[in-house]
Structures are given as C-alpha cells and as structure tokens.
Amino acid sequence: MNEEELNRLTEKYYSGSCTDEEERTLREYFRNNIAPEGFEAEKVIFGYYDSAGIIPEPSVDFETRIMDGIESSDRKTGLLKRRKYILPYLSAAAGILILVGSYFFFISRSRSEDTFRDPKVAYAETIKILKDVSIRLNNGTRALEPVAKIDKMKTKSFEEINKSSSLIRKNLKNLDYLGRAFEIAGIPVNKNTNK
C-alpha cells in the first residue's frame, strides 16, 4: 500500500466513514508492516486493538434492558423507603398487641376460685401458662420475619452495585491502557476531566 492510499484510509478511519473492509486492511497493514514516517501512532493504536481483542457489539434491546433495570431499581428503592418508615410503626403496634393480649389473657384467667391449695399443682399450672405465653410470643415474632428479608434484599442490592462498579473499573482500566498507548506514541492526551 502506498503512502497516499494509507493517508486516505486513515483519514476515513478517523472521520468514521471507513468500511469494515477498509478497517481490516488498515489493521493488517499495521500488523504486518513497518509504519512509514508519520504513522507510528496509528501502528500503536491498531496494535492496541489487536492486543485488546474484539469488543462485542451491544444487543439490539440493550438500551431497553438498561432502562427497565433502572426503572425496576427505582421502584424497589421507593418500596424500601416506604418500608423503612412503616417498620417502626409495625413494631410498636406488635408490642402493643402483645401487651393488650397478655392483659386480657391474664384477666380472663384470674378468678378467685382458680387459687390452688396444693403447691405442686400450682407450680404445674404456672409452667403450663408460661409455655402457652411463650408459644404465643413466638407466634408474634414470626410476623417480624419480613424484616429479615428486607435486610437480605439490601445486601443483594449492594452486591449488584459492587459488580457494576467493578465492571466500570475494568473498562476504565482499558481506557487507561489506550491513554498510555497515546503517550508512548507521542500523541498529546487531554487529561482535563470533569470531576
């Protein structure tokens, strides 16, 4: 390939009007030949592309799936916020129900004729009542099991966020390699970023 043809193809490549076949031609040329003077940076860039491998194209419904995921996450966040405010009220209501239930349970059981003269019978009856109270309290605490599920959901959400951030870090590392390739080739790189 002569220098004029190489110039024309690289200009088309940088303007984004290069066909797949022309891009393959450029890759092959820079992979197999010594770069002419003035094309050293292109040799580094195409060499980087070869070493980085093929980057797959996103699927057709990629944007739709991303937007659906964001909307779903927003709905879950709203639900979790509402639960955060409702949970203290539910806990207080459960405590009041237990107290009121215990009050009525003991009032209905306390009659003067229920007094026992034999201490062994009184002890056995007390054990029976305490077991009954324990069973009822345990049943009341089962109503609080959804609270544990909320904590599990929070943990899963943070794990998903960590997965996303590691993917972003990996992609940023690839961009850092490209920046280093530009620096090696002597191409000025604008390092001003919005923070």
pLDDT surpassing 90 at residue 96: yes
In the chain, what are the domain boundaries? 3-55, 62-145, 146-195
Neighbours of 169 (CB within 10 A): 9
pLDDT band with cut points at 50, 70 and 90 for residue 194? very low
pLDDT band with cut points at 50, 70 and 90 for residue 130? very high
Query: Pick from 193, 165, 188, 182: which is nearest to 47 by CA?
Result: 182
What is the per-residue pLDDT across 153-174, written as a single tens digit (0 to 9) for each? 888 888 888 888 888 888 888 8
